[in-house]
Structure 1
């Protein structure tokens, strides 16, 4: 790995740490009712088609979140990860959709959040099939 790519990997990790910290503070201190207007347009979805450039950016953001989420001293829930990734994609002027779902298992209530940009599920994708979408929020590019 050359110096330039190593430098950009460090920047990506720092951005992911900052965005995860910010999202954690927001989720902890602001009620969900007040947070909703900042998540995007309710019950709308961003386009599922994506250019190779957008697809690469989304995968890079997903990778950055994945690298640092377990190494931080606070809990990074699925909602925190989705909001952090949404912020990172917004900085890159890339549309995304945040999904909130509930468990399909009727024995107990469990919620989950995941983020999609184009055809890439950026965060929370490994468990999304276990949940029914209850709401979605589209954040447009720019």
Structure 2
């Protein structure tokens, strides 16, 4: 396991990077609690304005901030034992972009006819969430191609 080299890399970061790392950790943990304790319909309106299909906001004038948010969320995901779901990562990214008033879109996609998963009690449907900002995908990009976008929750920051 490459945990220790990753932790040492994180420890060598400067104060500005530490601030965004701590914010990302807090956002991921609060999103994790929200997803585990609340049904989606109760918090979906906090994600943004719903729009059919996938929306990718244009490139931001604050691309460095978009890059830093992506870096912080993926660093925490790779470096710690707890694996956050795609929805938790998307909510955390959404909160970080909204706080900085950067346009974003939380996209929810579905895949019908998926291989039955024992965690979903054999339901042949799968879902995935990803976030677009700054002209590209910030979190959830790897699995995105296997899902059809259903709805985007758009925020203007």
**TM band (smaller chain):** 0.7 to 0.9
* Cα distance in 2, alignment partners of residues 133 and 42 from structure 1: 12
Aligned residues: 136
Q: Provide the alpha-carbon RMSD of the alignment.
A: 2.0
TM-score by length of 2: 0.78
Instruction: Give how far 1:75 is off.
Output: 3.4
TM-score by length of 1: 0.86
Deviation track 1:72-95 (CA, whole Å, cap 9, x = no partner) reads: 454300000010011111111111
Distance 1:104 1:31, change over 3 A: closer
Partner of 1:110: 126
Deviation track 1:65-116 (CA, whole Å, cap 9, x = no partner) reads: 0011244454300000010011111111111000000126554311100000
Query: Which of 85, 91, 107 is equivalent to 1:77?
Result: 85
Q: Do structure 1's residue 62 and structure 2's residue 70 form an aligned pair?
A: yes
Larger gyration radius, structure 1 or structure 2: 2
Unaligned runs of 5+ in 2: 1-12, 116-123
Unaligned runs of 5+ in 1: none
Partner of 2:58: 49
- Judge conservation of contact 1:46–1:118 (CA < 8 Å) in 2: no
- Judge conservation of contact 1:46–1:95 (CA < 8 Å) in 2: no
